[in-house]
Structure 1
Amino acid sequence: MGSNTALLPEKKAERPRYTPVDLDRHPAVEALLARLGLGAFDRDSLAAPVGRNDAWAGRTTGGRSVFVKRLVGSDPAEVERRMKRLLAFHLWAPDLPAEALRGPDFLGYDRDAALVVFELVDGARNGAELMVDETFDAALATTIGAAVGQLHTAVPAADADWDRSVPYQPPLEALHGLSPATFDSLSFGELQGWRLMQQDADLRGAVTRLREWEAEAPLVPTHCDLRVDQLLITGDTVYLTDWEEFRLADGARDVGSFAGEWLYRSVLDIVTTRGDTVFVDLELTHEMVLSRGVAKMQRLMPLVRDFWRGYRTARPEVDDRFAARAAAFAGWHLLDRLMAGASRASRLSGIERAAAGIGRGVLLQPEKFIDTLGLGDL
């Protein structure tokens, strides 16, 4: 970031919609809808929300609004593991306390075809839209924190055959080297990002330590991929989608992901006018970048504290190292966002590098950032 970085207003968030994959290529979709008694899709109503999977959202001839997702991937075994985790959650969800975090109503599935069907939540806005529009408030953050806490304290059935494997992120092996196949599949921006991280011995050491801490943590029902764009809010009801990484894991992952989302947002806001009392048409010096970064964090981090307050109300007892692990996962979240952005670009931008630098600092010394992130004693 240098003095040629201009301050820009941010546009209102809009949800991307794309032309759906042709249903005629996937007859299992409408065959499943028919078996569930929902009727066929009204093709004129179809939309395709953005995502890594094939998806169809629209009305059926039976009068229902539904969302169908087809899990896709280059490795059939991994698709099957994702399907198993998703079904483990949604088949268990009816047993959860009413206040616990859950997904939209689950209507059915075809395991062989990797298809799942949900009630479409009409009129809902996702958390990322509310974040950008600045309507994500303290009450909502507290409600979500309490719902996550309820999920983490819920007790699975004694015979539940749930995944207990350690989630892929952060990928310690990839920090030491990439396979030829992975290397060939990456964009130039991603290769830049991996090169920076692989050359950072302190970063590798911090990830190794986090993995060691995680191995000693209590295992609880955990989403393991929590992002604000997966939150659907309609009235007083909050849903969380995309349960493909669900498993028994360290609950600090979910808490750290939520904190990391707001930390990342505060860095992105350095170059926007969000939260500024007056529009300022100027260019940013290095000193202004630093001062604005502090100001943006002070403005947004209280939402993490509201989340943490709700979480601890629902889950008052956590282990002594929980907050430090959550802070470390928040730090890694910024590095993960760096790589997600790099996958769509030919090079890393200055603001993405700044976010990664802050994330690295948090990951290396998470105890120092517990209070700054809003995860301190209440």
Structure 2
Amino acid sequence: MNSGSSRMDIRSITDEAGRRQAFALFREAMLGIGDLGRSSPEAEARFLRDGKPFGGYEGDVLRGVVNGYDSSVILPGGERVSHLSVTHVGVSPEASRRGIARRLLADQLHRARADGYVVAGLRASDPRIYGRYGYGVASWSVRQDIDLTRTRLAAGTSREGIRIVDARESFELFRKIADTDPKPRAATLSRWDGWWSMQEYRTAHGTTPHHAVVFGQQGRERGFLRFHVEPSENWFTSSRRTVIVDDLVAHDGEAWRALNGHLFGQDILHRVVFPSRPVDDPLPLLLDNPRALEISDQRDESWIRPLDLKALLSARRPGGTRDVILAVEDDLFPENAGIWSVGPAGAVKSPGKPAVSVTISDLATLLFGAQSAAHLAASGRLVADCEGAVEDLDRMFETSRKPHSGISF
């Protein structure tokens, strides 16, 4: 069929068979994702149950899909706003380059705003795609690789309060700990049922052993650590016995130190890998030899698309003492575009002369603290027409910790 996207019909997919078909098309488009439904239809059904997929159809033939899950995200300052977790974006290889993904993604964003979501967010398989839809990088992550044979914990670090739990049977406890974190970093997401179900499936069907510990008194736990063994031809004789950290949640510094300390207490280990940690993680300060820690692979993590800019700016709680007038560009939502006065009292549309011009995607980057206004201005992504405006914005959106989520979806 040599048809353009003008004949594309976008429909919500609500039945289980349609959801499975949409997920199958996504796997076909991505190439590297296994067939969950073949190995465990029950796990796939649970994973897909709460999604909000849309399909792009030519007649009755599904050509493209986009999905989303209901969640929320933490802003700098601690406020939580509604967040549509966008995922499963794929187009059949037989129908690529027809504008199908463009229509699906734009339609999804309009529906999400109409449904009351303040932002949408995703993890990008290709970072060149999503800026054109108004997504901006809201957090970065790095990989940490510790050579345990070259370092020890700094003096005074205690491992007391750690309890070993069953990595397969303790997901309700992990979920409770994650949901009750009192001071999560900006960009931290609430984790939905389907996300947890996938973690359970991977743990139960992993090819190497999985392990877990929690910190705190029973019933008042304040952190957990999940990790698995890296595959090895002969674990017992290997000189690089390694574990991969799957998830780390700590409510406070004491919990964080103790959970990390548990890894150092495993005498059989040579190496620990954290695939995703904040760029300002204080782990080097926990080591008596910080050179034993290799930090690499900095990459974009959270991509956030503001949908209701007024609600987002109001929840962000700007600091500083002066208002700044912003000219915001947003090609998808006229309600977001225009002149805004932003300050400690909130945000309102303004007839004033703008001091700063910025796109909606770069504004997301600024609001979450992923980049400073000074860095955005230096790169030409933010244009200041008034002296001192960049400094005012940095005071307004200053953060004590860099944003980081730590999960993929």
Return the TM-score normalized by structure 2: 0.24
More strand by share: 2
Q: Compare the two structures and name the one with the higher helix fraction.
A: 1
